Amino acid sequence: MIKRWPWLLPIFSTAILYGIAYAISAHFFNVAIVTRRIPADFAALLALSMLLFALSRRPVLFLILQALLIGTLYVGSAAKSAITGRPLMPEDIYSLDAFIKLMGPLGWLVAGVPALLILVLFFGNLRFRGRLRQSILLISSGLFLSAGAGSIGLVDWMDHFWGDKPWDQRENYVWRGGTIHVLQELVRTVALATPAPAPEEVAAAIERRLAAADLKMPAGHRRNVHVVLEESFWDPAPLTAAGLKESPLDPRFLALWQEAGHSTAMSPAFGGQTANAEFEVLCGFPLAQGSVRFEQPMNDALPCLPRLLAQAGYRTVASHPNIPGFWNRQVSYDKLGFETFWSIGDFTLDDMTSIFLSDASLHRQVAEKLKGSDDGRPVFDYTVTYYGHWMYDVDDKRPLMAQAASHVDEVNRYVSIVHWKSREMMDAIERWRREDPESVIVVFGDHLPLLGQNLAGYAESGFMGGADDHISPEIQARSTQTPLIVIDGRNGPLPLGTLPMYRLPSLLLALVDAPQKGIADLAAAPAGLTLRPLPGHVVGIDTAGKPFLCQGDDLGDDQGADLGDDASGPCAAVARWQDDTDLLAHDIFAGNGHAAARMSGNAADLAAIANP
């Protein structure tokens, strides 16, 4: 029958593959598309399948391509949603290389090879002959170009028709379906592509931000700076279902953290994407995106913390015992101003757990290398640890230490991981305080850990994982907070309260008495507010210490200007702040650099901008 009516093939195959993908997603990952939205999503997938079939040379290759596409759009999104809370998005293309490197052969199996096959099958199976196919190509190209030209209006229509909660992409996915979700977000990506800001726009944003910002910082003096980003480091005390009788954290860390007033850092990431936390800590601008900033185009010679310290006479060194290209660090670190980057090839792999060099060995080797290459300059010593990365491997040397009773296996391993990490961290901190007592020491966790599918490790303890999490300011805030310790030399730990990671560069520049007019000053929040932008919303802490949430209409095109004194409280000021910081970030990191030239007061740069 299919030979007589070949167009039945894509209809049958779409129905069968859609049903299989839906069943796998719902059964294995507990991610199911809302039932009444299935017909529209299936129709969109069928239309796409019919188009691919019309342009295909061979039906067998079409079926393979279709199976790969549907598996990616549905099973891939369900798996990613279950693990990270976010389905596949267009910007994930930037992270594909890093995912493959992280997962090794498994990464190639589930992502690398399928992506390569999709490209080969699509272009290799295209057939251009025949008036019907040529007409289809012409019409498709016309629709694509017209959609791009009118993408803002199209996005508005799609958002109105299908809905959009940018702060909850998992919810978007289940209410749209895999095909409509990806198409809608692809159109949005095109719509939001904007030209670099003009000089007058940048100047106006700078004036607004410096006038509204709270830039009070402690006085300091020139000394060494040691910054350690601790992989997946968090206090597991809220995991009550684990049944821990005492904290797995080293008692020395608990005592030091208490001295610091149990300060916390607010991260832009959750469960992964360490490089986004790095970007904020090194460049002083907030991120609110699902993709990794280091993987995207960035300008050269950025005026970030490493370059500002180098200009102030510092030697700037980054250390991370992973391959140098992971998250594009080798290129990005150079753009940010690091003089030296020690990666996996620069360390002796003498104390390993799985593929991860221990923190103890990493800190020891970095100290030895710094001492052996000392040239008399103060040092900015920036270290990113690797041990403790998901999936929280243990071994005979660092075994399970706590008798955890969680039903989630990752929780039972994780509580032992943080025991070893805090112990080895404290050994390094005590050495610095003994051998370099005037130095500034900063230690913080990059993000909360991944603990089971669909936040199972958090949900069993009632910490996170409920249906209404996305509307709870308290839950949104605590999902970003990791331990933070900043030691001001002999003055000891600073009680900083809750500090967004992008505010650390301004603090560090103040503590070492470096020039203060850095770009990080432009991202300071309106006076009295603590702001943590996240995809689609901003979670904040007001002057009374109460969390609040700005999302949806609060951050709309009107910038919240008409919100007044409604329940959104400070959201009008937050919207204006976010618009300005987004514009300035675009200019500084991927635009023409007007803001950096103005902040540096470089006459040559300003002249070049004024007369390009």
Would you say residue 150 has pLDDT above 70?
Answer: no
Better pLDDT: 82 or 227: 227
**DSSP of 352-395:** EETTEE-HHHHHHHHHHHHHHT--SS-EEEEEE--TT-TTT---
Spatial CB neighbours of 129, under 8 Å, sequence gap ≥ 6: none
Structure tokens at 531: 């702001």
Q: What is the mean pLDDT of residues 519-524?
A: 91
Among 32-41, 379-388, 396-405, 513-522, the minimum mean pLDDT is found in: 513-522
For range 282-286, the mean pLDDT: 96
Give the DSSP per-residue string, 199-233.
HHHHHHHHHHHHHHB-----------EEEEEETT-
Q: Where are the domains of the chain?
A: 8-191, 216-515
Helices (H), 436-570: 456-459, 473-478, 504-511
Burial per residue of 375-410, b for 16 or more beta-carbon CB atoms within 10 angstroms, e otherwise: eeebbbbbbbbbbbbbebbbeeebeeebebebebeb
As a whole number of angstroms, the distance between CA 407 and CA 399 comes to 19
In the numeric block, which tokens belong to residue 286? Answer: 């907030």
Q: Is the dihedral of CA 519, 522, 528, 530 positive or negative?
A: negative
The 3-class SS string of 446-474 reads CCCCCCCHHHHHHHCCCCCCCCCHHHCHH
**Is residue 30 pLDDT above 50, yes or no?**
yes
Decide: helix, strand or coil at residue 602.
coil
- pTM over 0.75, yes/no: yes
DSSP run (H or E) holding 443: strand 440-445
How far is 285 from 524, CA to CA, in rounded Å? 9
Predicted local confidence at residue 550, as pLDDT: 94
- Residue 569 clears pLDDT 80, i.e. is over it: no
Flag whether pLDDT at 421 surpasses 80: yes
Helix, strand or coil for residue 541? strand
| Integer-rounded Cα radius of gyration of the chain | 26
Please, are residues 233 and 446 in contact by the beta-carbon 8 Å criterion?
yes
Question: Domain 216-515 adopts which CATH fold?
Answer: Alkaline Phosphatase, subunit A (3.40.720)
- The two tokens of residue 240 are 């009550």
The confidence band for 602, taking pLDDT boundaries of 50, 70 and 90, is very low
How far the first Cα of the chain sits from its last, in Å, is 67
Is the pLDDT at 93 greater than 90, yes or no? no
- Mean pLDDT for 367-374 is 96
pLDDT tens-digit series, residues 337-363 = 999 999 999 999 999 999 999 999 999
User: In this predicted structure, what is the pLDDT of residue 148?
Assistant: 52
Q: How confident is the model at residue 140 (pLDDT cuts 50, 70, 90)?
A: low
Is the predicted pLDDT of residue 603 greater than 70, yes or no?
A: no
Query: 179 versus 189: which is more confidently predicted?
Result: 179
pLDDT in tens, 294-317: 988 899 999 999 999 999 999 999
Regarding predicted confidence, which is higher, 176 or 564?
176
DSSP state string for 145-172: HHHHHTHHHHHHHHHHHH---TT-HHHH
pLDDT band of 130, cuts 50, 70, 90: low
What whole-number distance in Å separates Cα of residue 612 and Cα of residue 606?
10
Average pLDDT, stretch 172-186?
Answer: 92
